[in-house]
Structure 1
Amino acid sequence: MAHPITPLSPPLKDELDIVIPTIRNLDFLEMWRPFLQPYHLIIVQDGDPAKVIKVPDGFDYELYNRNDVNRVLGPKASCISFKDSACRCFGFLVSKKKYIFTIDDDCFVAKDPSGKEINALAQHIQNLLTPSTPLFFNTLYDPYREGADFVRGYPFSLREGVSTAISHGLWLNIPDYDAPTQLVKPRERNTRYVDAVMTIPKGTLFPMCGMNLAFDRELIGPAMYFGLMGDGQPIGRYDDMWAGWCAKVICDHLNLGVKTGLPYIWHSKASNPFVNLKKEYKGIYWQEEIIPFFQSIVLSKECTTVQECYVELSKNVKEKLGSVDPYFQKLGDAMVTWIEAWEELNPPKEASAAAEPKSVKKEEPSPKSK
C-alpha cells in the first residue's frame, strides 16, 4: 500500500525574513513565488511614502515607508538612508528572525547550466547552516558540500570549521560593476556559472554586494549597517561595501565565517553608468584610503560582542578616516546611533521577556501590514 507523501516544510520557514528595498510595484515576486511565498517579507519602500506599492497576492508581508521609519525610530531615524538601497537595513533592524535573505527588485530566478531554475534561498540556507573554514583554505572549496571533503594535508584540528555568519551570492547576466568599468564594458554580460562555494580567508576583505545576500542576524546583524548613503550624502552605491568591510573585520575578530559563490540570481538591468559615476565619484577616491584602514584595524580583546566591536570600529572611523573627509565623522556618529537603535529594538532575550520597550509595538508595525 502506497503511503501518502508528507509535504516537506520549507527550510527555516519560521526563522527567516526576506528583506526587499524598493521604489516600485513588486511584480518580480511572481517569478520567485515557488521559492519565496512560504516566507515572511519585510518590504522597505524608498522615496515618496504617499506612493502605493503593490505586492502580488498571496505573499505574507509588512511594508514600511519613510513615515514608518520615522515613527518606529524617532530621532534615531537619521541613521537610515533615503533614496538609496541602504534603506534595506531598516528591515534588518525590525526583523525578529534569526536569518535574513535580502534581494533587489531587479533580480530574477536564474537557471543552472542544465536549465533548472535555481532556488537561491535554499542554497543560502545551506551555506549558513554549514560551517566555514576561514583559517585554512581547502582547495576543493567548500568541504561541507555533497561530494566534497577536506583535502590531504588539511589539519584535522581545523576541520570542525567556524559558524557561518554571511552567505554572499553572485549574479548572471549584468555583473556588479562600478561606473568606470560599466562605461568601458557596456555590453559585457556574465554568462559563466561556476559551481563553487568558498570561504573568504581570515584577514581578507571582499566587495560585498547586497542584491543577493543572506546572513545570520543573531551572529552578525548589528554589523550589517549599510551606512549613510543617497539623499543628502556625498556618496552612494557604497552601502553594501561599507557593511561588508565592517562585518568582515568583525567576523575575523569573533572567529566567524563568510562564504561566497553559489547561489546565482539573474540580474536583469544595468543601472545608468553616468548616474552611478556621480554617486560613486568620491567613493572611488576614498576607497583607496578606506581599504588600508580596514586592513590594518585591530579590535581590542575586550570587544566580545558584535555591538562592542562595532562601537569601537566607529571610533576608529572618526579618528582615522575623519581627516579624509568630514563625512566620516558623521558616518561614525550614525554607526553609534544604529547600534543604539538596534539595542532598543532588539533587547537581550532575558530583558525582553521582562519588558518590551514601549517604542516598539511590533504587533502593529505598519498600517500596510498584511
Structure 2
Amino acid sequence: MRAAAGKESPSSSAVGGTPLLKDELDIVIPTIRNLDFLEMWRPFFQPYHLIVVQDGDPSKTIRVPEGFDYELYNRNDIKRILGPKAACISFKDSACRCFGYMVSRKKYIYTIDDDCFVNPSGKEINAVEQHISNLLTPSTPYFFNTLYDPYREGTDFVRGYPFSLREGTPTVVSHGLWLNIPDYDAPTQLVKPRERNARYQTLCVICDHLRLGVKTGLPYIWHSKASNPFVNLKKEYKGIFWQEELIPFFQAVVLPKDCTTVHKCYIELSKQVRERLGKIDPYFTKLADAMVTWIEAWDELNPSGPAAEVVVVNGSSNGK
C-alpha cells in the first residue's frame, strides 16, 4: 500500500465553500492505469480522501496526480490483508473496488471509473454533491412520481400522489448515469461502435426487502469507454447466456422475514444462488462461497459488523 497527501493548490479548494460530508466520505477508484483523469475532477475530488484499488499487474506503478490525499492497494496488499479470504475480491474487472468498500472507515463511499469525466458541455456539475443530496433525501420506490425526484429543488409531488407515501424511505444507493458511450455489452458495442448517448439510460432485491430506497438518474457524467470490446467479449460471453436465467431468478427471489439486516439478506441470497443457480454452472457455487467469505472478511475489517449498515453511491456513493 502507498499513501500520499500533497500540498493543496488553489485549484483544489472546494467549489462554493466547505465540501459536503468532507470527513464522512471516501472516493473509491478501481484502475489499471495512471489516474490523469483526476485533473478534470480536481475541484470536486481533492477535498476528499481517495482509496485507489489497482487491478492487474501489482508490479506496475500507478501515478496519482499531486495534491490528492490517497491510499493505494494492489493485489499483493489485498492478499496480505485478507489472507485466504482475498479470493472473494474479484479482479480483472472493476469489481475489485469492493475491497475499497471494506477498508473505508467513512459513512459514505463515492465510487467512479477512471474513464468517466466531467460533462464537456462547459457547465460545471459537482457530481459528488449531487449524489450526497440524493442520499440525504428520501426515495419513493412504492409509487411513481412523474416529476423526477420530488425532493429536489424546483419539483414536488404531482396531483394524486398519496400523502401517506410522501415521507418516502431512506435512500441507500444513488446511481448516476452515463452520457456519450452507452453501457453496452460487447456484441452490441461491436455492431454499434459509433453510437453515442445524448439522453439518459439505465437495483434491488435486498433494498426492496428492507424497504430502502435507490435513486437512479442525476447526476449525469461523461463516459469515454477505455476498454476493448473484443477483450470484453471474452469476459462476457458466458454472461450473455446466463442472464436469461439470472433475470428471472432475481425477479422471483423472496427473502424471509427474519432477514432484517443487509448481512442476513446477503447470506440468505448466497444460499439461494447456490441452490438455484449452481446447477447452471460451477461458477455460481464459487460465487455463493465468495458471498459468504465477503461477509466474513467485512466483519474482520469492520468489527462493528452486522450493526453497520451500508449506503452506496455510484458515479457514485456507499455509506456504512
- The equivalent of 2:50 in structure 1 is 41
Contact 2:177–2:200 at 8 Å: present in 1 too?
Answer: no
Contact 2:261–2:306 at 8 Å: present in 1 too?
Answer: no
Contact 1:17–1:100 at 8 Å: present in 2 too?
Answer: yes
- Code of the residue aligned with 1:331 in structure 2: it is L
- Runs of 4+ with >3 A deviation: 349-352
Q: Report the Cα offset of residue 141 of structure 1.
A: 2.1
- The equivalent of 2:183 in structure 1 is 176
2:282 to 326, 330, 341: 326
**1:1-370 aligned within 5 A:** 8-111=17-120, 115-192=122-199, 244=203, 248-269=204-225, 271-348=227-304
Distance between the aligned counterparts of 2:230 and 2:32, measured in 1?
20
- Code of the residue aligned with 2:87 in structure 1: it is S
- Code of the residue aligned with 1:25 in structure 2: it is N
- The equivalent of 2:5 in structure 1 is none
Any gaps of 5 or more consecutive residues in structure 2?
1-15, 309-320
Could you say what secondary structure the match of 1:262 adopts? strand
Distance between the aligned counterparts of 1:143 and 1:67, measured in 2?
46
Contact 1:299–1:312 at 8 Å: present in 2 too?
Answer: yes
Q: Report the Cα offset of residue 270 of structure 1.
A: 5.0
Number of equivalenced pairs? 293
* Percentage of pairs with the same residue: 81
- Code of the residue aligned with 1:169 in structure 2: it is G
Distance between the aligned counterparts of 1:33 and 1:12, measured in 2?
17
Distance between the aligned counterparts of 1:337 and 1:249, measured in 2?
20
Q: Report the Cα offset of residue 350 of structure 1.
A: 11
Contact 1:303–1:309 at 8 Å: present in 2 too?
Answer: yes
Q: CA RMSD in A?
A: 1.8
Q: Deviations over 1:217-252 (max 9, x none)?
A: xxxxxxxxxxxxxxxxxxxxxxxxxxx5xxx10000
Contact 1:174–1:270 at 8 Å: present in 2 too?
Answer: no
- Code of the residue aligned with 1:176 in structure 2: it is D
* Residues 70 and 187 (structure 1), Cα distance of their counterparts in 2 relative to 1, 3 Å cut: same
Q: Report the Cα offset of residue 50 of structure 1.
A: 1.4
Q: Report the Cα offset of residue 183 of structure 1.
A: 1.7
Q: What TM-score, normalized to structure 2?
A: 0.88
Contact 1:172–1:192 at 8 Å: present in 2 too?
Answer: yes
* Bigger mean CA deviation after superposition, 79-88 or 130-139: 79-88
Contact 1:131–1:257 at 8 Å: present in 2 too?
Answer: yes
Distance between the aligned counterparts of 1:177 and 1:95, measured in 2?
30
Q: Report the Cα offset of residue 300 of structure 1.
A: 0.3
- The equivalent of 1:220 in structure 2 is none
Distance between the aligned counterparts of 2:69 and 2:36, measured in 1?
15
- Code of the residue aligned with 2:183 in structure 1: it is D
Q: Report the Cα offset of residue 273 of structure 1.
A: 2.0
Q: Report the Cα offset of residue 191 of structure 1.
A: 2.0
Q: Deviations over 1:275-295 (max 9, x none)?
A: 212111110110110111111
Distance between the aligned counterparts of 1:350 and 1:317, measured in 2?
21
- Code of the residue aligned with 1:338 in structure 2: it is W
Distance between the aligned counterparts of 1:125 and 1:67, measured in 2?
33
Any gaps of 5 or more consecutive residues in structure 1?
1-6, 195-206, 208-243, 353-370
- Code of the residue aligned with 1:167 in structure 2: it is S
Distance between the aligned counterparts of 1:191 and 1:84, measured in 2?
26
